[in-house]
Copies of this chain bind each other. A is one copy, B any other.
Amino acid sequence: MEVHALDPFFNPRSVAIIGASSDPSKLGGRPIRFLRAAGYAGRIYPINTRSETVQGLQAYPTLADIPGEVDQALIIVPASAAPDALRACIAKGIKAVQVLSSGFAEESEEGRLRQEEMSALAARHGVRLLGPNCLGIVSVRNRYFATFSTALEALVPQPGGISFATQSGAFGSCAYAQAIQRGLGIARIVATGNEADIDVTECIDFLASDPETRVICAAIEGCRDGNRLRRALLKAAAAGKPVILMKVGSSATGQQAAATHTGAIAGDDKIFDVVCRECGAWRAQSIEEMLDIAYVRSQLAEPANDRANIITVSGGIGVLMADDAERHGVAVPAAAPALQARIRGIVPFLVGVNPLDTTAQIGAIKRGIPDLAELVIQETDCATLFLYLAQIPCDPRRFVPLLADLAELRRKYPDRLLVLIGPSDDEMRRQLEAQGLVIFSDPGRAMRAVGALCEIARRRASLHPGLPDPGRRARRPDVAVDPRAGSLNEMQAKRLLSEYGLPVPPEALCRTEAEAVAAAQRLGYPVVAKIVSPDIQHKTEFGGVVLDLADADAVRRAFGALMGKAAALPGSPRIEGVLIAPMIRKGTETILGIHVDPIFGPMVMFGLGGVAVELFRDVAFASVPLSPARAEQLIRSVKASQLLFGWRGRPAQDVGALTRALMGLSDFAQDWAQVLEGVDVNPFVVLDEGAACLDAVVSCNAAS
């Protein structure tokens, strides 16, 4: 197996600390203290010109004085001295360097230049850099605590399968301090700081193939390369490791704060959401939610389906959990009649069919709960079993036998999720968790975490990479209209799109009244007349479109009025004539488009016309290149698309034609990715049979 480029950061056999301090409370002293306290088995080389020993370890005046190889160096010197420290690392042949010092791009222009100098230097010599201005790395199982985070003074992480990769060290601290306090088992912690070289994306990529990691918790404030993030998320998905992401800066206020905090581009929040979904990741809204999901997944299997049984000693909590299940996308199917009979054989007074309410009287039945639990595990395929146990976990007399029974169930059915709910004290929680079980005090949080894992599994079953297809033939050379020509008028835009299969009704550009009347007669009344000018993008707004012209007189009047109005516009727009096209009254108006995201590249957009998009933001995006399955998913993810599928007795509309148009737009975006700025097809009318692109704007930068 190939060694990952970041492996020396997490599994070094030796580490040099440049700027090592004898004071264990100082920045340069803490990592040594933490490493020794944790019991790191590798070699620690303090670099210190003034002392022969540092915190009881032999110190070296310079890196060059260290005998033999060094896997990793930590730089904790003032920023101005950091470039020289890096040079020393290069000279020593160290390939993994963490720069914990601050005073770089986050502080000043001078710092930014210093940071660039260091990253260029590192790149030139094949050295990988973490930081600068980062909080370091913790690797729990090998006791590698190379950080100065004070979180570790009060809180000692237990080994386990959850890893953290965050840009902000303080954000990471907040997350893993909570995790440690909850007793969650941790594999790796890394904060990337200014990301002069290594970023969170690359850390996700490392963790996806890290055998110690079962769940990846990541927080980013901006993303610089959408496709690298996609690849890292897809790699984790392929490895069966949920990536739970927090993107800080989703609201307007938050984005302002994000701009203050880092120089990274915050990116469009909705697009980030789409990419997470497509690549099988989960976006959490709070640290607590992130940890809840990680907790369940690191203890239990991945849910094989989104169905659950609920056993509860309280009907009220059962109702609450059924509500929560619906909210979080977990199905709670009723027990089959035969099973119901067997259930009542165990608990005669049980109420309901799922949730199964044993009532508090269950205490009267010996082994009532474990027998009932095993029965529903055996007789249904529901992947998850929730057990609301009220006060039982707090009552030692009842807890001890129950724990043994549940642990036995866990061993017997390792592919099922057993999620306990009830109050517990720390000691009982630890005992449960030692048996591979989980417990939540709040039923809503338990359901939210399981619901997220179900959704992650669904996403993983329909991944949409959204990565450029390397085998794709070169750009279509023979298009009638070259987008690089610069601004296109409506006709040119439609002609171009028609070459990608978008249906454009016949139409004629007319320079005289007579031409317009002739065209109308040829196309058949009623017709529509529109001004054509490369300089007018929003013709509707100044009245540049006249609908529903019923006869030659109306066409003549419209022609005259349009030419007159256009000529009177300020700035003397170039007027190319009037477009005459058939009037299409039927069908459902939709909006198609291509949004070119600066981070994630071209995205196909779909929505329905009118208030659905404008008021309710009922639009959806999908990454280019689209697949037919993803196109269908895209259409269905728009709420108003119900109108296309035979709404209230209306005939169903030609969704196939719509799908083909979306695929065509995706092809178009791939071919012209280098110059494309955006496409709006509005309206795109979907008919009972076929569809019609009635207006289109294609924006390109003519530069390349």
Contact = CB atoms under 8 A, between A and B. Distances in A.
A384 to B, nearest CB: 15
Nearest to A191: B316
B640 A327 contact: no
Contacts of A51: none
B251 A170 contact: no
Given A174-B317, A316-B219, A391-B177, A323 B250 contact: yes
Contact of A254 (B257, B262, B286, B320): B320
A526 to B, nearest CB: 15
A58 B323 CA distance: 48
B332 A170 contact: no
Interface stretch (A440-448, A490-498, A662-670): A440-448
A429 to B, nearest CB: 11
Interface in A213-265: 219, 221, 246, 248-254, 256-258, 260-262
Interface stretch (A149-157, A593-601, A678-686): A149-157
B318 A257 contact: yes
Interface string A309-343: 00001111111101111110000100000000000
A171 interface: yes
Most-contacted residue by chain B among A326, A395, A423 (CB, 10 A): A423
A261 to B, nearest CB: 4
A173 B441 CA distance: 12
B150 A395 contact: yes
B443 A178 contact: no
A318 B261 CA distance: 9
Interface stretch (A11-19, A42-50, A351-359, A476-484): A351-359
A643 interface: yes
A435 B144 CA distance: 39
Contacts of A249: 319, 323
Contacts of A313: 170
A376 to B, nearest CB: 16
Contact of A332 (B181, B253, B258, B425): B253
Contacts of A167: 316
Contacts of A254: 319-320, 322-323, 326
A545 interface: no
B390 A319 contact: no
A624 interface: no
Interface string A354-370: 01010010000000000
A274 interface: no
A678 to B, nearest CB: 21
A288 B170 contact: no
Contacts of A355: 257
A171 B316 contact: yes
Interface stretch (A504-512, A516-524, A608-616): A608-616
B316 A166 contact: yes
B322 A251 contact: yes
A537 interface: no
A58 to B, nearest CB: 30
Q: Chain A binding site: helix, strand, loop or mixed by DSSP?
A: helix
Contacts of A151: 390-391
A352 B316 CA distance: 47
A236 to B, nearest CB: 22
Interface string A66-95: 000000000000000000000000000000
A335 to B, nearest CB: 13
Nearest to A325: B253
A388 interface: yes
Contact of A260 (B168, B288, B352, B422): B352
Nearest to A330: B253
B253 A326 contact: yes
A422 B166 CA distance: 18
Given A174-B317, A254-B322, A288-B441, 12 more contacts: A151-B390, A170-B360, A171-B316, A171-B320, A177-B394, A251-B325, A258-B319, A260-B357, A261-B316, A261-B357, A288-B444, A610-B610
26 contacts: A150-B395, A153-B391, A154-B395, A170-B315, A170-B360, A174-B314, A174-B316, A174-B388, A174-B390, A221-B316, A221-B319, A251-B325, A251-B327, A253-B323, A253-B326, A254-B320, A254-B322, A260-B351, A285-B444, A286-B442, A287-B320, A610-B610, A610-B611, A615-B639, A615-B643, A616-B640
8 tightest A-B CB contacts, nearest first: A170-B314, A168-B316, A171-B316, A286-B444, A254-B323, A154-B394, A251-B326, A261-B315
